[in-house]
Amino acid sequence: MRTPEQALNEIRHRGETVSGWAKKHGFDPRLVRAVIYGRVKGRWGESHKIAVMLGIKDGVIDANV
């Protein structure tokens, strides 16, 4: 698990932008920013998937949902 700040730093460390990371993974960049900056909790749906993929949240991504 990592903090949102650590997840953002990891994206930047790889030379990516948040928008680039979002598009590469099929997410809306505004929603990714909202998860990183804490405006959206990442409890369900797309925000849950984003939080799990960023390592901010421990969870499972079910392809059937």
Q: What is the pLDDT of residues 11-50, one digit of tens each?
A: 999 999 999 999 999 999 999 999 999 999 999 999 999 9
Residue 47 and residue 40 in contact, taking contact as beta carbons nearer than 8 Å: yes
Closest among 60, 63, 53 to 7, alpha carbons compared: 53
* Predicted confidence (pLDDT) at residue 65 exceeds the cutoff of 90: no
DSSP 12-62: HHTT--HHHHHHHTT--HHHHHHHHTTSS---SHHHHHHHHHHTSS-----
Mean pLDDT of 2-6: 96
- Kindly report the pTM of this predicted structure: 0.91
- What's residue 15's pLDDT? 97
